[in-house]
Amino acid sequence: MPYRIHWFKKNLRFQDNEILLKKDNSSSILLYIIEPELWLQKDMSQRQWDFIWESVESLKTDLAKHNLHLNILSGDAAEIFQSLHQKYSFTEVISEQETGIHWTFERDKKLKSLFNNLNVNWIEYPYFGVKRGNHNRDHWAGSIQQIFKKPLINIEKYIDQSEILDFDEHEKPVNFYDKTPCPFRQKGGSHQAHDLLDTFLECRGENYQSEMSSPITAEHSCSRLSPHFAHGTLSLRQAFQLAEKKRFEIQSTNKVFAKSINAFLSRLYWRSHFIQKLEDEPSIELKSFIPLYDDIRDQDEEKLQSWIKGETGIPFIDACMIYLRNHGWINFRMRAMLASFAAYNLWLDWRYYAPPLAALFTDFEPGIHYSQIQMQSGTTGINTIRMYNPYKQSEEQDPDAHFIINNIPSYKNVPKNLLHYPETVTPFEQQLLPSTWKSPIVNVSQSSKKAKDTIYGIRKMIDHKTLAKSVFLKHGSRKSH
Protein backbone atom coordinates (compact mmCIF):
# COMPACT_ATOMS: atom_id res chain seq x y z
CA MET A 1 0.00 0.00 0.00
CA PRO A 2 1.43 3.44 -0.95
CA TYR A 3 2.23 6.02 1.70
CA ARG A 4 1.32 9.70 1.73
CA ILE A 5 2.92 12.27 4.06
CA HIS A 6 0.80 15.09 5.49
CA TRP A 7 3.36 17.71 6.50
CA PHE A 8 2.25 20.34 9.02
CA LYS A 9 4.12 23.61 8.59
CA LYS A 10 2.38 26.88 9.54
CA ASN A 11 -1.08 25.29 9.75
CA LEU A 12 -1.04 23.87 13.27
CA ARG A 13 -4.76 23.13 13.65
CA PHE A 14 -7.25 20.30 13.27
CA GLN A 15 -10.29 22.29 12.11
CA ASP A 16 -10.64 23.50 8.51
CA ASN A 17 -7.31 22.03 7.41
CA GLU A 18 -7.10 20.86 3.80
CA ILE A 19 -4.04 18.69 4.31
CA LEU A 20 -6.14 16.26 6.37
CA LEU A 21 -8.57 15.52 3.56
CA LYS A 22 -8.82 11.87 2.56
CA LYS A 23 -8.07 11.29 -1.12
CA ASP A 24 -7.86 7.53 -1.42
CA ASN A 25 -6.83 4.46 0.57
CA SER A 26 -3.15 5.34 0.85
CA SER A 27 -1.61 5.05 4.31
CA SER A 28 -1.16 8.44 5.90
CA ILE A 29 1.88 9.68 7.82
CA LEU A 30 1.26 12.91 9.75
CA LEU A 31 4.50 14.81 10.23
CA TYR A 32 5.88 17.89 11.95
CA ILE A 33 9.59 18.68 11.56
CA ILE A 34 11.63 20.63 14.11
CA GLU A 35 14.40 22.34 12.12
CA PRO A 36 17.20 23.55 14.44
CA GLU A 37 18.87 25.66 11.75
CA LEU A 38 15.68 27.70 11.29
CA TRP A 39 15.99 29.05 14.83
CA LEU A 40 19.45 30.45 14.14
CA GLN A 41 18.05 32.96 11.63
CA LYS A 42 18.11 36.61 12.70
CA ASP A 43 14.35 37.10 12.61
CA MET A 44 13.52 33.95 14.59
CA SER A 45 13.40 33.68 18.38
CA GLN A 46 12.73 31.49 21.37
CA ARG A 47 9.42 33.23 22.09
CA GLN A 48 8.16 32.20 18.65
CA TRP A 49 9.35 28.64 19.19
CA ASP A 50 7.68 28.41 22.61
CA PHE A 51 4.37 29.49 21.09
CA ILE A 52 4.80 27.01 18.23
CA TRP A 53 5.65 24.13 20.53
CA GLU A 54 2.53 24.74 22.62
CA SER A 55 0.58 24.75 19.37
CA VAL A 56 2.17 21.50 18.18
CA GLU A 57 1.32 19.80 21.47
CA SER A 58 -2.25 21.09 21.23
CA LEU A 59 -2.51 19.81 17.67
CA LYS A 60 -1.15 16.40 18.67
CA THR A 61 -3.81 16.14 21.39
CA ASP A 62 -6.61 17.14 19.00
CA LEU A 63 -5.46 14.62 16.39
CA ALA A 64 -5.25 11.84 18.97
CA LYS A 65 -8.94 12.39 19.80
CA HIS A 66 -9.66 11.31 16.23
CA ASN A 67 -7.34 8.29 16.20
CA LEU A 68 -4.61 10.19 14.37
CA HIS A 69 -0.96 10.33 15.40
CA LEU A 70 1.37 13.27 14.79
CA ASN A 71 4.96 12.16 14.28
CA ILE A 72 7.47 14.78 15.39
CA LEU A 73 10.99 14.52 13.98
CA SER A 74 13.91 16.90 14.27
CA GLY A 75 16.75 17.71 11.91
CA ASP A 76 17.30 18.83 8.34
CA ALA A 77 14.04 18.48 6.40
CA ALA A 78 15.68 17.14 3.23
CA GLU A 79 17.60 14.49 5.18
CA ILE A 80 14.45 13.48 7.06
CA PHE A 81 12.40 13.08 3.89
CA GLN A 82 15.26 11.13 2.28
CA SER A 83 15.34 8.71 5.24
CA LEU A 84 11.55 8.39 5.27
CA HIS A 85 11.51 7.59 1.58
CA GLN A 86 14.11 4.86 2.00
CA LYS A 87 11.95 3.21 4.63
CA TYR A 88 8.39 3.93 3.47
CA SER A 89 8.70 4.80 -0.24
CA PHE A 90 5.99 7.47 0.03
CA THR A 91 4.66 8.75 -3.28
CA GLU A 92 3.09 12.02 -2.22
CA VAL A 93 3.62 14.89 0.23
CA ILE A 94 0.78 17.24 1.13
CA SER A 95 1.35 20.55 2.92
CA GLU A 96 0.08 24.10 3.05
CA GLN A 97 1.83 26.60 0.81
CA GLU A 98 4.33 28.57 2.90
CA THR A 99 5.36 32.15 2.17
CA GLY A 100 8.17 32.47 4.66
CA ILE A 101 11.60 33.94 5.15
CA HIS A 102 14.47 33.49 2.70
CA TRP A 103 15.71 30.44 4.62
CA THR A 104 12.40 28.54 4.29
CA PHE A 105 12.15 29.62 0.64
CA GLU A 106 15.54 28.07 -0.09
CA ARG A 107 14.65 24.96 1.94
CA ASP A 108 11.49 24.45 -0.10
CA LYS A 109 13.39 24.83 -3.38
CA LYS A 110 15.80 22.16 -2.18
CA LEU A 111 12.91 19.88 -1.25
CA LYS A 112 11.19 20.39 -4.57
CA SER A 113 14.33 19.21 -6.32
CA LEU A 114 14.59 16.21 -3.99
CA PHE A 115 10.95 15.21 -4.53
CA ASN A 116 11.35 15.50 -8.29
CA ASN A 117 14.36 13.16 -8.15
CA LEU A 118 12.38 10.70 -6.02
CA ASN A 119 9.29 10.93 -8.26
CA VAL A 120 7.30 12.20 -5.30
CA ASN A 121 4.29 14.44 -5.97
CA TRP A 122 4.30 17.49 -3.68
CA ILE A 123 0.87 19.09 -3.35
CA GLU A 124 0.80 22.50 -1.66
CA TYR A 125 -2.62 23.85 -0.78
CA PRO A 126 -2.70 27.66 -1.13
CA TYR A 127 -2.80 29.85 1.96
CA PHE A 128 -6.07 31.80 2.08
CA GLY A 129 -6.16 33.89 -1.10
CA VAL A 130 -2.40 33.85 -1.70
CA LYS A 131 -1.67 32.78 -5.27
CA ARG A 132 1.56 31.21 -6.48
CA GLY A 133 2.77 31.80 -10.01
CA ASN A 134 1.25 34.09 -12.63
CA HIS A 135 -1.99 35.78 -11.63
CA ASN A 136 -3.93 38.97 -12.26
CA ARG A 137 -3.83 41.43 -9.35
CA ASP A 138 -6.91 43.20 -10.76
CA HIS A 139 -9.10 40.22 -9.86
CA TRP A 140 -7.36 39.30 -6.62
CA ALA A 141 -9.78 41.02 -4.24
CA GLY A 142 -12.80 39.29 -5.76
CA SER A 143 -11.22 35.85 -5.63
CA ILE A 144 -10.24 36.12 -1.95
CA GLN A 145 -13.84 36.96 -1.02
CA GLN A 146 -14.94 33.71 -2.61
CA ILE A 147 -12.27 31.78 -0.67
CA PHE A 148 -13.28 33.30 2.67
CA LYS A 149 -16.94 32.49 2.06
CA LYS A 150 -16.32 28.92 0.95
CA PRO A 151 -17.82 26.38 3.42
CA LEU A 152 -15.51 25.08 6.12
CA ILE A 153 -14.13 21.59 5.59
CA ASN A 154 -16.24 18.85 7.14
CA ILE A 155 -14.08 16.62 9.36
CA GLU A 156 -16.03 13.61 8.07
CA LYS A 157 -13.97 14.05 4.89
CA TYR A 158 -10.72 13.70 6.84
CA ILE A 159 -8.45 10.70 6.96
CA ASP A 160 -9.46 8.40 9.82
CA GLN A 161 -6.17 6.68 10.68
CA SER A 162 -2.45 7.30 10.39
CA GLU A 163 0.88 5.58 10.88
CA ILE A 164 3.17 5.71 13.90
CA LEU A 165 6.77 5.94 12.69
CA ASP A 166 9.62 3.93 14.11
CA PHE A 167 12.14 6.78 14.35
CA ASP A 168 14.31 8.30 17.05
CA GLU A 169 12.67 10.66 19.53
CA HIS A 170 12.73 14.30 18.44
CA GLU A 171 14.91 16.94 20.06
CA LYS A 172 13.75 20.47 20.74
CA PRO A 173 15.97 23.32 19.54
CA VAL A 174 18.33 24.69 22.19
CA ASN A 175 20.11 27.40 20.23
CA PHE A 176 18.26 30.55 19.18
CA TYR A 177 19.50 33.72 17.54
CA ASP A 178 17.28 35.69 19.90
CA LYS A 179 16.50 34.55 23.46
CA THR A 180 15.08 37.79 24.86
CA PRO A 181 12.85 36.83 27.82
CA CYS A 182 9.12 37.31 27.19
CA PRO A 183 7.32 36.92 30.54
CA PHE A 184 3.86 37.88 29.26
CA ARG A 185 3.87 36.01 25.96
CA GLN A 186 0.56 34.71 24.64
CA LYS A 187 0.03 30.96 24.81
CA GLY A 188 -0.17 28.84 21.68
CA GLY A 189 -2.73 26.25 20.61
CA SER A 190 -6.09 26.15 18.83
CA HIS A 191 -8.08 26.18 22.06
CA GLN A 192 -6.43 29.45 23.05
CA ALA A 193 -7.24 30.85 19.61
CA HIS A 194 -10.90 29.91 19.78
CA ASP A 195 -11.23 31.35 23.28
CA LEU A 196 -9.81 34.66 22.04
CA LEU A 197 -12.12 34.72 19.03
CA ASP A 198 -15.15 33.94 21.21
CA THR A 199 -14.46 36.73 23.70
CA PHE A 200 -13.61 39.19 20.92
CA LEU A 201 -16.91 38.58 19.15
CA GLU A 202 -18.86 38.37 22.39
CA CYS A 203 -17.72 41.64 23.98
CA ARG A 204 -14.03 42.62 23.74
CA GLY A 205 -14.24 43.76 20.13
CA GLU A 206 -17.13 46.19 20.53
CA ASN A 207 -14.88 49.26 20.57
CA TYR A 208 -12.12 47.75 18.45
CA GLN A 209 -12.34 50.42 15.77
CA SER A 210 -11.92 53.31 18.21
CA GLU A 211 -9.54 51.65 20.67
CA MET A 212 -7.06 49.84 18.42
CA SER A 213 -4.67 52.80 18.14
CA SER A 214 -3.72 53.30 21.78
CA PRO A 215 -1.44 50.71 23.41
CA ILE A 216 -3.51 51.19 26.58
CA THR A 217 -6.86 50.09 25.11
CA ALA A 218 -5.58 47.90 22.27
CA GLU A 219 -4.39 45.15 24.59
CA HIS A 220 -8.01 44.39 25.50
CA SER A 221 -9.94 45.54 22.42
CA CYS A 222 -7.81 44.00 19.67
CA SER A 223 -8.56 40.39 18.76
CA ARG A 224 -5.04 39.26 19.79
CA LEU A 225 -5.35 36.52 17.17
CA SER A 226 -2.31 37.55 15.13
CA PRO A 227 0.10 34.87 16.50
CA HIS A 228 -2.59 32.25 15.93
CA PHE A 229 -3.06 33.34 12.32
CA ALA A 230 0.72 33.47 11.83
CA HIS A 231 1.17 29.86 12.96
CA GLY A 232 -2.14 28.53 11.69
CA THR A 233 -3.79 27.45 14.95
CA LEU A 234 -6.98 29.11 13.69
CA SER A 235 -8.36 29.11 10.17
CA LEU A 236 -8.60 32.60 8.68
CA ARG A 237 -11.76 31.47 6.90
CA GLN A 238 -13.35 30.26 10.13
CA ALA A 239 -12.61 33.55 11.87
CA PHE A 240 -14.02 35.47 8.89
CA GLN A 241 -17.26 33.50 8.80
CA LEU A 242 -17.88 33.69 12.55
CA ALA A 243 -17.22 37.45 12.48
CA GLU A 244 -19.59 37.91 9.52
CA LYS A 245 -22.25 35.94 11.37
CA LYS A 246 -21.86 38.17 14.43
CA ARG A 247 -22.06 41.31 12.31
CA PHE A 248 -25.30 40.12 10.70
CA GLU A 249 -26.81 39.44 14.14
CA ILE A 250 -26.03 42.90 15.56
CA GLN A 251 -25.99 45.24 12.56
CA SER A 252 -29.37 46.77 13.40
CA THR A 253 -28.97 46.80 17.19
CA ASN A 254 -25.32 47.74 17.79
CA LYS A 255 -23.87 49.80 14.96
CA VAL A 256 -20.67 50.56 16.90
CA PHE A 257 -19.89 46.86 17.26
CA ALA A 258 -20.87 46.19 13.64
CA LYS A 259 -18.41 48.84 12.43
CA SER A 260 -15.69 47.32 14.60
CA ILE A 261 -16.32 43.92 13.03
CA ASN A 262 -16.10 45.53 9.59
CA ALA A 263 -12.68 46.88 10.57
CA PHE A 264 -11.64 43.42 11.78
CA LEU A 265 -12.83 41.74 8.55
CA SER A 266 -10.91 44.24 6.43
CA ARG A 267 -7.74 43.28 8.26
CA LEU A 268 -8.24 39.63 7.41
CA TYR A 269 -8.19 40.61 3.73
CA TRP A 270 -5.22 42.86 4.50
CA ARG A 271 -3.21 39.89 5.87
CA SER A 272 -3.42 37.94 2.64
CA HIS A 273 -2.83 41.06 0.55
CA PHE A 274 0.55 41.67 2.18
CA ILE A 275 1.57 38.02 2.22
CA GLN A 276 0.84 38.02 -1.52
CA LYS A 277 3.48 40.74 -1.98
CA LEU A 278 6.22 38.50 -0.55
CA GLU A 279 4.90 35.52 -2.50
CA ASP A 280 5.12 37.51 -5.73
CA GLU A 281 8.55 38.94 -4.96
CA PRO A 282 10.56 37.02 -2.31
CA SER A 283 13.45 39.47 -2.65
CA ILE A 284 11.57 42.20 -0.73
CA GLU A 285 12.96 40.62 2.45
CA LEU A 286 16.45 41.55 1.21
CA LYS A 287 16.06 44.42 -1.27
CA SER A 288 14.02 47.62 -1.43
CA PHE A 289 11.00 47.68 -3.73
CA ILE A 290 12.71 50.68 -5.33
CA PRO A 291 16.49 49.98 -5.62
CA LEU A 292 17.27 53.72 -5.38
CA TYR A 293 16.76 53.44 -1.61
CA ASP A 294 19.08 50.48 -1.04
CA ASP A 295 22.22 52.29 0.08
CA ILE A 296 21.08 55.59 1.57
CA ARG A 297 20.89 54.66 5.28
CA ASP A 298 23.25 53.64 8.06
CA GLN A 299 24.06 50.48 10.01
CA ASP A 300 24.82 52.01 13.40
CA GLU A 301 25.05 49.28 16.05
CA GLU A 302 24.93 51.72 18.98
CA LYS A 303 21.70 53.29 17.75
CA LEU A 304 20.22 49.89 16.95
CA GLN A 305 20.91 48.56 20.44
CA SER A 306 19.51 51.69 22.10
CA TRP A 307 16.33 51.32 20.06
CA ILE A 308 15.84 47.55 20.39
CA LYS A 309 16.44 47.67 24.17
CA GLY A 310 14.15 50.64 24.77
CA GLU A 311 16.94 53.04 25.70
CA THR A 312 16.57 55.90 23.18
CA GLY A 313 15.66 58.55 25.75
CA ILE A 314 12.26 59.08 24.09
CA PRO A 315 10.00 57.74 26.90
CA PHE A 316 7.05 56.73 24.72
CA ILE A 317 9.30 54.96 22.19
CA ASP A 318 11.13 53.17 24.99
CA ALA A 319 7.90 52.21 26.80
CA CYS A 320 6.51 50.70 23.57
CA MET A 321 9.69 48.73 22.95
CA ILE A 322 9.85 47.47 26.54
CA TYR A 323 6.20 46.41 26.32
CA LEU A 324 6.92 44.57 23.07
CA ARG A 325 9.94 42.81 24.56
CA ASN A 326 7.87 41.65 27.52
CA HIS A 327 4.67 40.69 25.66
CA GLY A 328 5.77 39.67 22.15
CA TRP A 329 3.00 41.88 20.78
CA ILE A 330 2.02 45.52 20.46
CA ASN A 331 -0.71 47.18 18.44
CA PHE A 332 -0.23 48.15 14.82
CA ARG A 333 0.09 51.93 15.20
CA MET A 334 2.86 51.51 17.75
CA ARG A 335 4.64 49.03 15.49
CA ALA A 336 4.50 51.59 12.72
CA MET A 337 5.81 54.30 15.04
CA LEU A 338 8.73 52.15 16.22
CA ALA A 339 9.68 51.35 12.61
CA SER A 340 9.28 54.97 11.52
CA PHE A 341 11.54 56.14 14.35
CA ALA A 342 14.23 53.62 13.40
CA ALA A 343 14.01 54.46 9.69
CA TYR A 344 13.70 58.25 9.77
CA ASN A 345 14.92 59.55 13.11
CA LEU A 346 17.74 57.06 13.64
CA TRP A 347 18.24 56.73 9.86
CA LEU A 348 18.83 52.97 10.10
CA ASP A 349 18.77 50.73 7.03
CA TRP A 350 15.50 48.79 7.16
CA ARG A 351 17.36 45.55 6.32
CA TYR A 352 19.47 46.18 9.43
CA TYR A 353 16.72 46.80 11.97
CA ALA A 354 13.91 44.62 10.54
CA PRO A 355 15.25 41.17 11.60
CA PRO A 356 15.84 41.95 15.30
CA LEU A 357 12.44 43.64 15.43
CA ALA A 358 10.83 40.59 13.82
CA ALA A 359 12.39 38.35 16.45
CA LEU A 360 10.48 40.23 19.17
CA PHE A 361 7.10 39.49 17.56
CA THR A 362 5.50 36.22 18.60
CA ASP A 363 3.19 36.84 15.64
CA PHE A 364 6.01 37.38 13.12
CA GLU A 365 4.56 36.95 9.63
CA PRO A 366 7.29 37.59 7.02
CA GLY A 367 4.97 38.84 4.26
CA ILE A 368 3.38 41.40 6.53
CA HIS A 369 6.52 42.33 8.43
CA TYR A 370 8.85 43.05 5.53
CA SER A 371 6.18 44.77 3.43
CA GLN A 372 5.22 46.98 6.35
CA ILE A 373 8.82 47.73 7.29
CA GLN A 374 9.45 48.94 3.75
CA MET A 375 6.26 51.01 3.84
CA GLN A 376 7.25 52.64 7.14
CA SER A 377 10.76 53.24 5.77
CA GLY A 378 9.46 54.91 2.60
CA THR A 379 11.11 52.45 0.19
CA THR A 380 8.05 51.10 -1.66
CA GLY A 381 7.73 54.20 -3.83
CA ILE A 382 3.94 53.92 -3.99
CA ASN A 383 2.83 54.54 -0.40
CA THR A 384 2.41 57.84 1.41
CA ILE A 385 5.46 58.80 3.47
CA ARG A 386 4.41 58.50 7.11
CA MET A 387 6.77 59.89 9.71
CA TYR A 388 5.24 59.31 13.11
CA ASN A 389 6.12 62.05 15.59
CA PRO A 390 6.73 60.14 18.85
CA TYR A 391 5.95 63.23 20.94
CA LYS A 392 2.61 63.75 19.23
CA GLN A 393 1.80 60.03 19.56
CA SER A 394 2.78 60.13 23.22
CA GLU A 395 0.34 62.95 24.01
CA GLU A 396 -2.48 61.53 21.90
CA GLN A 397 -2.26 57.84 22.80
CA ASP A 398 -1.00 58.14 26.40
CA PRO A 399 -2.10 61.60 27.62
CA ASP A 400 -1.72 60.78 31.32
CA ALA A 401 1.55 58.88 30.74
CA HIS A 402 0.10 55.75 32.37
CA PHE A 403 1.54 53.51 29.67
CA ILE A 404 4.98 55.06 29.98
CA ILE A 405 5.01 54.71 33.76
CA ASN A 406 3.66 51.15 33.72
CA ASN A 407 6.54 50.09 31.50
CA ILE A 408 9.22 52.33 33.02
CA PRO A 409 8.23 52.44 36.72
CA SER A 410 11.26 54.52 37.71
CA TYR A 411 9.66 57.43 35.81
CA LYS A 412 6.57 57.52 38.05
CA ASN A 413 7.47 60.88 39.63
CA VAL A 414 8.62 62.56 36.41
CA PRO A 415 6.25 65.39 35.33
CA LYS A 416 4.04 64.43 32.38
CA ASN A 417 5.25 67.30 30.22
CA LEU A 418 8.84 66.00 30.45
CA LEU A 419 7.76 62.41 29.65
CA HIS A 420 5.97 63.66 26.54
CA TYR A 421 8.70 66.16 25.54
CA PRO A 422 12.07 65.02 26.98
CA GLU A 423 13.99 67.43 24.73
CA THR A 424 12.64 70.33 26.83
CA VAL A 425 14.36 69.18 30.05
CA THR A 426 16.43 72.02 31.52
CA PRO A 427 19.77 71.53 33.30
CA PHE A 428 18.04 72.24 36.62
CA GLU A 429 15.28 69.71 35.94
CA GLN A 430 17.89 67.17 34.88
CA GLN A 431 19.28 67.16 38.42
CA LEU A 432 15.85 66.26 39.84
CA LEU A 433 15.19 63.34 37.49
CA PRO A 434 15.77 59.71 38.53
CA SER A 435 19.18 58.16 37.91
CA THR A 436 17.61 55.90 35.28
CA TRP A 437 16.58 58.88 33.15
CA LYS A 438 18.03 58.84 29.66
CA SER A 439 18.38 61.89 27.46
CA PRO A 440 17.20 61.57 23.84
CA ILE A 441 19.86 60.11 21.54
CA VAL A 442 18.50 62.10 18.60
CA ASN A 443 16.71 65.39 17.94
CA VAL A 444 13.32 64.37 16.59
CA SER A 445 12.45 67.47 14.57
CA GLN A 446 15.90 67.89 13.02
CA SER A 447 16.26 64.20 12.09
CA SER A 448 12.72 64.14 10.65
CA LYS A 449 13.43 67.15 8.43
CA LYS A 450 16.70 65.67 7.18
CA ALA A 451 15.02 62.34 6.41
CA LYS A 452 12.09 64.01 4.67
CA ASP A 453 14.37 66.10 2.46
CA THR A 454 16.35 63.00 1.44
CA ILE A 455 13.33 60.76 0.73
CA TYR A 456 11.38 63.38 -1.21
CA GLY A 457 14.52 64.25 -3.14
CA ILE A 458 14.73 60.66 -4.38
CA ARG A 459 10.99 60.61 -5.16
CA LYS A 460 11.43 63.51 -7.57
CA MET A 461 13.87 61.55 -9.74
CA ILE A 462 12.61 60.49 -13.16
CA ASP A 463 13.83 56.93 -12.62
CA HIS A 464 11.81 56.75 -9.39
CA LYS A 465 8.51 57.48 -11.14
CA THR A 466 9.13 54.71 -13.68
CA LEU A 467 10.08 52.21 -10.99
CA ALA A 468 7.13 53.19 -8.79
CA LYS A 469 4.68 52.54 -11.60
CA SER A 470 6.13 49.05 -12.03
CA VAL A 471 5.77 48.39 -8.28
CA PHE A 472 2.13 49.48 -8.33
CA LEU A 473 1.25 47.24 -11.26
CA LYS A 474 2.75 44.25 -9.49
CA HIS A 475 1.81 44.89 -5.86
CA GLY A 476 -0.71 47.71 -5.66
CA SER A 477 -4.01 47.20 -3.87
CA ARG A 478 -7.14 47.49 -6.03
CA LYS A 479 -10.80 46.91 -5.50
CA SER A 480 -12.57 43.91 -6.97
CA HIS A 481 -13.47 44.17 -10.64
Q: What is the pLDDT of residues 2-22, one digit of tens each?
A: 999 999 999 999 999 999 999
Domain end call among 125, 145, 176: 125
- Is residue 308 domain-shared with residue 441, that is, in the same domain? yes
Structural domain range at position 240: 190-280
Work out the pLDDT band at 262, boundaries 50, 70, 90.
very high
Residue 146 domain flag? no
Q: Are 210 and 200 in contact (CB under 8 A)?
A: no
299 occurs within a structural domain: yes
Q: pTM (2 decimals)? A: 0.95
**Residues 262-281, mean pLDDT to the nearest whole number:** 94
Regarding whether 400 and 295 lie in a shared domain, the answer is yes
Per-residue model confidence as pLDDT tens digits over 70-110? 999 999 999 999 999 999 999 999 999 999 999 999 999 99
- Do residues 442 and 345 lie in contact, with contact meaning Cβ atoms separated by under 8 Å? yes
Average pLDDT over residues 58-63: 98
The residue from 260, 280, 300 where one domain ends is 280
H/E stretch holding 438 reads none
E-state strands within 347-401: none
- The pLDDT confidence band at residue 274, using thresholds 50, 70 and 90, is very high
Does some domain include residue 376? yes
Q: What is the mean pLDDT of the chain?
A: 95
Residue among 111, 84, 116 at smallest CA distance from 100:
111
Domains identified in the chain, total number: 3
- Do the beta carbons of residue 48 and residue 154 sit within 8 Å? no
| 3-class SS shares of the chain: helix, strand, coil, % to 5 | 55, 5, 35
Read off the pLDDT band of 477 (50, 70, 90). Answer: low
pLDDT given for residue 468 in this prediction: 79
The verdict on 38 and 91 lying in the same domain is: yes
Residue 301 and residue 264 in one domain: no
- Condensed to tens digits (0 to 9), the pLDDT of residues 299-353 reads 999 999 999 999 999 999 999 999 999 999 999 999 999 999 999 999 999 999 9
Do residues 242 and 319 share a domain? no
pLDDT over 60 at 359, yes or no: yes
Which of these, 33, 24, 21, lies nearest to 2 by C-alpha position?
A: 24
Same-domain status, 107 and 235: no
Q: Is 233 helix (H, G, I), strand (E, B) or coil?
A: coil
Q: Let me know whether 306 and 265 are in one domain.
A: no
- The Cα-based distances of 187 to 29, 51, 240, 381 in angstroms read 27, 6, 22, 38
Q: Residue 479's pLDDT band (boundaries 50, 70, 90)?
A: low
Does position 219 have pLDDT exceeding 70, yes or no?
yes
Shared domain check, 330 and 436 = yes
Whether residue 149 lies inside any domain: the answer is: no
Residue 190 Rama label (left phi>0; alpha psi -120 to 50; beta): alpha
Last residue of one domain, picked from the residues 253, 280, 307: 280
Which pLDDT belongs to residue 374? 95
> What CATH number did the domain enclosing 44 receive?
3.40.50.620
Tell me, yes or no, whether 305 and 431 share the same domain. Answer: yes
For the stretch 364-377, what's the b/e string if a residue is b when 16 or more beta carbons lie within 10 angstroms of its beta carbon?
Answer: bbbbbbbbbbbbbb
Residue 26 lies in a domain: yes
298 within some domain: yes
Over residues 368-385, mean pLDDT: 90
In a domain, 226, yes or no: yes
Q: Tell me how far apart the terminal alpha carbons of the chain are, to the nearest angstrom.
A: 47
Query: Is 396 contained in some domain?
Result: yes
